[in-house]
């Protein structure tokens, strides 16, 4: 069965066509800089590549281009678009409503629209992608996979902020958490590797990419996560501050006369790694500058890892028993220095890194704990697309589409 996975960002569409249930990627690509004259189309299938720079007005046109490439006589992956039985969509915010993936119908679309104020950058693009896919893949089962769904098992003590309860009742202000598909994927993968049932593992999963979040998983379910009402809370990120005292915001607005939109921009776009280092939001550039003696780049690395360690400590307390700590996403998979520094000094808690294994582990699924470590430490490359493809495959099969 052919399953197309679509991930629409505010100005991009990433896509992968899977042959399921074999988990084989048949074709993949990205359309970037949507809304610009010099938008970029990148497509590849079995070593055949197609790269193009052209004007693309919106997501609908971007998806039309993708659908045309998928049936191209030379570069295409299928003869006819109706051979794509299911389309899986990444949707960032599913509120409290969606505890798992869903077949998309009018009600689901209404809800995604309703949650736009909770994810103003992402949900509109996700919805546009769904509407376009319904147009270009009318025969396919459309499935939405929500970033928030895995975290809907977080208990009230962890999701409620200590602000007037009416704020939750009236405005649904609470911790939602994000990157759920990634945390779920690595948690399930860990259970598979260890030969345990998916609900028989307690884990701390660290998704460290340009956006970063960390989750406490108890009996296979999320019970606490660092991102909150928005993806701004928690760890230090590429351009986001993570945790700060909300009093700083009032100080900037009331004492320094900044506009709320300026503060928003500072905390979301100009803080985190780039804010401290002044070098870049990309960890590779920061490591390079740090190695040349740039003190602020060195400090950015220290603060980043300190925050990860602080969260690991608090999640050890929340979980009690921990079977594994997992690192994933761009930084988690590729930066041994972050894994080493984040776990340094935690030997008393039964967390001991094998420095050699850690150093040599780059973007591969591997255990990096020493044999004396009570808690297993793993690098597990994330694969959100595969998780979405698997969910979509199950729903499509249940609809009798083979
Ligand atoms: P992501 O959001 O998961 O794509 O992760 C982006 C972050 O991961 C950036 O800070 C990159 O510097 C870092 N990253 C991605 N790939 C690599 C790599 N091959 N080596 C080192 N760092 C990487």
| Two structure tokens written together for 8 | 């629409």
Residue nearest to atom 9 of ligand 1 (CA): 282
The proportion of the chain whose per-residue pLDDT surpasses 90, expressed as a percent, equals: 97
Could you give the CA distance from residue 3 to residue 387 in angstroms, rounded to a whole number? 12
The CATH number for 2-146, chosen from 3.30.420.40, 3.40.630.30, 3.90.1200.10, 2.60.40.10, is 3.30.420.40
Q: Whose CA is nearest to atom 16 of ligand 1?
A: 330
Residue ranges of the chain assigned to CATH 3.30.420.40: 2-146, 197-384
Closest CA to 208 of 308, 329, 359: 329
Q: Give the tens place of pLDDT for each residue, 15-32.
A: 999 999 999 999 999 999
Say which of 38, 105, 147, 391 is annotated catalytic.
147
147 is catalytic: yes
pLDDT digits (tens, 9 = 90+) for 77-105: 999 999 999 999 999 999 999 999 999 99
Choosing from 212, 277, 297, 330 the residue with most ligand 1 atoms within 8 A of its CB, the one to mutate for a pocket test is 330
CA dihedral over 32, 120, 396, 223, signed as positive or negative: positive
For residue 208, report the distance from its CA to the centre of ligand 1, in Å: 9
CATH number of 197-384: 3.30.420.40
Mean pLDDT within 246-267: 98
Residue 25 burial (10 A CB sphere; 0-12, 13-18, 19+)? middle
Question: How much is the average pLDDT of 291-306?
Answer: 98
Give percent above pLDDT 70 in the chain. 100
pTM of this structure:
0.95
CB neighbour burial string for 282-321, b if at least 16 within 10 angstroms, e if fewer:
ebeebbebbeeebeebbebbebbbebbbebbeebbeebee
Candidates 130, 124, 123; CA nearest to 105 is: 130
Mean pLDDT value of segment 191-203: 98
Average pLDDT over residues 256-281: 97
Q: Could you report the per-residue pLDDT of 387-400, keeping only the tens digit for each?
A: 999 999 999 999 87
Q: pLDDT per residue over 224-245, tens digit each?
A: 999 999 999 999 999 999 999 9
Amino acid 401: pLDDT: 65
pLDDT at residue 400, rounded to an integer: 78
Amino acid 340: pLDDT: 98
Query: Average pLDDT, whole number, for the chain?
Result: 97
CA distances from 318 to 162, 216, 374 (A): 18, 8, 17
Give the pLDDT band (50/70/90) at residue 120: confident
- pLDDT of 402 > 80? The answer is no
Report pLDDT for 217. 98
> Which residues have any ligand 1 atom within 6 Å of their CB?
209-210, 238, 282-284, 329-331, 334-335
């Amino acid at each position: 069965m052919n399953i197309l996975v679509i991930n629409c960002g505010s100005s991009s569409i990433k896509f992968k066509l899977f042959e399921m249930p074999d988990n084989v990627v048949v074709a993949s690509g990205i359309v970037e800089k949507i809304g610009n004259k010099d938008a970029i189309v990148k497509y590849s299938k079995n070593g055949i590549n197609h790269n193009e720079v052209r004007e693309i007005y919106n997501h609908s046109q971007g998806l039309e281009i993708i659908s045309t490439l998928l049936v191209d006589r030379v570069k295409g992956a299928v003869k006819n678009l109706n051979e794509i039985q299911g389309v899986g969509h990444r949707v960032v915010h599913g509120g409290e409503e969606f505890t798992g993936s869903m077949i998309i119908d009018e009600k689901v679309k209404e809800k995604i629209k309703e949650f736009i104020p909770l994810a103003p950058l992402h949900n509109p693009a996700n919805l546009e992608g769904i509407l376009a896919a319904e147009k270009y893949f009318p025969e396919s089962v459309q499935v939405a996979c929500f970033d928030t769904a895995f975290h809907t098992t977080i208990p009230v003590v962890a999701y409620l902020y200590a602000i007037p309860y009416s704020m939750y009742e009236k405005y649904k202000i609470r911790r939602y958490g994000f990157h759920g598909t990634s945390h779920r994927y690595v948690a399930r993968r860990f259970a598979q590797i260890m030969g345990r049932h998916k609900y028989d593992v307690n884990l701390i999963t660290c998704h460290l990419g340009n956006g970063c979040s960390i989750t406490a998983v108890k009996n296979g379910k999320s019970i606490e996560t660092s991102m909150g009402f928005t993806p701004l809370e928690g760890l230090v990120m590429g351009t986001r501050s993570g945790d700060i005292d909300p009093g700083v915001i009032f100080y900037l607005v009331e004492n320094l006369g900044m506009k709320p939109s300026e503060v928003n921009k500072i905390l979301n776009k100009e803080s985190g790694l780039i804010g401290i280092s002044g070098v870049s939001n990309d960890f590779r550039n920061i490591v390079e500058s740090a190695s040349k003696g740039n003190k602020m780049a060195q400090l950015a690395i220290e603060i980043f890892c300190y925050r990860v360690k602080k969260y690991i400590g608090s999640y050890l307390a929340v979980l009690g028993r921990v079977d594994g700590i997992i690192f994933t996403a761009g930084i988690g998979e590729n930066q041994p220095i972050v894994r080493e520094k984040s776990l340094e000094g935690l030997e008393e808690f039964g967390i001991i890194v094998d420095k050699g294994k850690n150093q040599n582990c780059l973007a591969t699924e591997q255990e990096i704990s020493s044999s004396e470590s009570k808690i297993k430490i793993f690098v597990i490359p994330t694969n959100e697309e595969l998780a979405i493809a698997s969910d979509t495959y199950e729903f499509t099969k249940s609809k009798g589409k083979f």
